[in-house]
Amino acid sequence: MGGRRMKIIETTIVLLLSSSSIGDAQLFDVTKYGAKEDGVTSIHQALMKTWELACTSTSPSKIWIPKGKYALKEVKFSGPCKSHIELQLDGILIAPTDTGSFKTDGWISFENIDQFTLSGSGTFDGQGMHAWKFNDCHKRLKCNVLPMNLRFDFLTNAIIQGVTTLNSKNFHVNVLGCKNITFLDFNVITPEDSPNTDGIHIGRSDGVYITDSNIKTGDDCISLGDGSKNVHVTGVECGPGHGISIGSLGRYGNENPVSGVWVKNCTLTNTDNGLRIKTWPSSNRGIASNMHFEGIKMVNVGNPILIDQQYCPWNQCNTGISSLVQISNVSFKNIWGTSSTPVAVKLACSSKLPCKNVVIGGISLSYSGSTSETLSSKCSNVVPSFSGTQSPKVCST
Distance (Å) of CA 232 to CA 48, 194, 229, 305: 33, 26, 9, 18
Q: How far apart are CA 215 and CA 220, in angstroms?
A: 9
Note the residue count of the chain. 397
Q: How far apart are CA 14 and CA 115, in angstroms?
A: 11
User: Which alpha helices (DSSP H) does the chain contain, by range?
Assistant: 2-18, 44-55
Residue pair 186/161 in contact (Cβ under 8 Å)? The answer is yes
Residue pair 275/304 in contact (Cβ under 8 Å)? The answer is yes
Q: How far apart are CA 168 and CA 190, in angstroms?
A: 7
Cβ atoms within 10 A of the Cβ of 155, count? 25
Distance (Å) of CA 297 to CA 292, 300, 304: 15, 10, 10
Cβ atoms within 10 A of the Cβ of 21, count? 10
Query: Residue 260: what are its φ and ψ, rounded to 5°?
Result: 85, 80
66 Cβ contact list (under 8 Å, min separation 6): 29, 30, 31, 37, 90, 91
Distance (Å) of CA 343 to CA 247, 282, 386, 394: 21, 25, 18, 10
Residue pair 274/365 in contact (Cβ under 8 Å)? The answer is no
Q: How far apart are CA 120 and CA 248, in angstroms?
A: 33
Distance (Å) of CA 44 to CA 5, 146, 238, 252: 39, 20, 33, 36
Residue pair 196/153 in contact (Cβ under 8 Å)? The answer is no
Cβ atoms within 10 A of the Cβ of 363, count? 24
Tell me the catalytic residues: 242
